[in-house]
Amino acid sequence: MKKITCEMCGGNDIVKNDGLFECQSCGTKYSVEEAKKMMIDGPVEVKGKITIDKSEETNYKLENAKSEYEAENLEECYKLCLEVLNVDGNNYEAMIYKGLSMAWQSTIDEPKILSASKDFERAIKTMAKEFKDDIKLADECIVILEELKDVGQIMLKTYIDYYKKQTQIADNYIKKAKDQSSKALSESLQGLGTLFTSDSYSLASSYGSLADTYSENATYYRNEAEKITKNSLKTFKNGTQTTALALNNVLIELLNNFENLEDDIFSVEFLRCLNSYIFYKDYLTTENSQNQLESIIELIAVLNLNKNNEYWLEHKEEKERLDNEVTSINEKIETIKKEIEGLEKKKLEFLKPKSLTENEKELEKVSTELDELRITKSKTSFRDKETRKKLKARIKELNKIYDDLDYKVYDEKEALIKMNNDKIKEINEAIDAKEKVIEAQNSKLEKIKEELYKNRF
């Protein structure tokens, strides 16, 4: 009987699986036609280099992998991409879909997106060698940027929602701890009360036992709350930082492989992809990553500025009109702010009279005399009883006069406020109206600035 001998390792343990013949020794796979050609009656000497064309098989598997990805069969897609890469290690499409299928399988406890980013980085390097044209490279990378951005946004939202939910659980434990602590205190007081009123040590002891139980419960709930808060914060930080770092690494790898970064070489779609990645800047913690993404933001800002300059060179009249409108609005806002300052000063004039009333003057006079008498009394010898008696009587008399005057001054101030209340209310309403005008003008100003500096790519 004819045997099939593996051309790669010389093994004869070859099994048919899913329409292909697979060597059990080295894992090499053969189509039916290839297997027929390999069937021999006896030993055959082969000289020279053996080349097996498996492009048709890899293309077939790659298309299947794409189909599985679209159908969201991520594990099967991942397996097929591995098989393709085992045969064709430079297949950048297999790298991309392997990375995507892995990234979408990320979970809160296992964020696979960072590992997946390594596949994207490899794919970019491979494409950079294959496509010498920057525009072609950028367009080929759009699928990575778009898909990875979506994965990243979903992962970040997942971590945020997770942290909020865990925080709520921790808050509930804290509430339970407070409730148990309150009950422990109540039982302790009950026990003390029983001990004092009835001398029943057994009953007091039962209250004490309940108090201990509630106290232990409170400690348990507090510990659980602390544990949940600590673990959820760690998971949140690790997940968001890992996600952002993965996206940043891919983006940096992409930019590092461009020959040219001029503003006119990229497609609109690619530039929009770049712009969407600014969202992740706040999630990066390492200074190096922040600096790298900052350089991308600066690049986008320059690109947009150039596009804006080109646009306004073609629309000079519109630009002049908007600039004049900005100047006019700013002048109007400054004028209204000065008017508000004037109204605030006018309001203070109503609240604070320019001079003291007669009662306020008399109150100050009595207060001064009281201070002097108290000092005199403190210096008078206890043996001089007559003098101390007169001083005490006068202090008592002045205290009564002081209290009466103090009430009168208070009433006068209240009457003043009440009398000026309508005027003050009128001023406050005028200030509110002017502040609303400023708010409306600022809103208008923001819209104009958006038009002047908006993204035009």
- Rounded Cα gap, residues 354 and 344, in angstroms: 16
Name, in order, each residue with C-beta under 8 angstroms of 15's C-beta and a sequence gap of 6 or more. 21, 22, 24
Summarised one tens digit per residue, pLDDT across range 82-139 is 999 998 888 999 999 999 999 999 888 888 888 888 998 899 888 888 877 767 777 7
Among 354, 313, 296, 332, smallest CA distance to 437 is for 332
Residue 450 has what pLDDT? 87
Could you tell me which CATH number the domain at 3-40 has? Answer: 2.20.25
The distance from CA 435 to its chain's CA centroid, rounded to whole angstroms, is 32
Q: How confident is residue 29, by pLDDT bands cut at 50, 70 and 90?
A: confident
- Rounded Cα gap, residues 218 and 178, in angstroms: 7
Q: Quote the pTM value.
A: 0.52
Residue 41 has what pLDDT? 47
Whether residue 76 has pLDDT greater than 80: yes
Extract the tokens encoding 106.
Answer: 């990320």
Extract the tokens encoding 108.
Answer: 């809160």
Q: How confident is residue 435, by pLDDT bands cut at 50, 70 and 90?
A: very high
- Rounded Cα gap, residues 191 and 89, in angstroms: 78
- Per the model's pLDDT, the better-predicted residue between 151 and 332 turns out to be 332
Please give the radius of gyration of the chain, using alpha carbons only, rounded to the nearest integer: 42
Which one-letter DSSP state was computed for residue 28? -
Extract the tokens encoding 342.
Answer: 């004037």
Q: Domain coordinates of the chain in residue numbers?
A: 3-40, 149-313, 318-453
Among 133, 68, 136, smallest CA distance to 104 is for 68
Residue 186 has what pLDDT? 83
Q: Which residues of 7-36 are buried (b: 16+ CB within 10 A; e: fewer)?
A: beeeeeebeeeeeebbbeeeebbbbeebee
The distance from CA 244 to its chain's CA centroid, rounded to whole angstroms, is 11
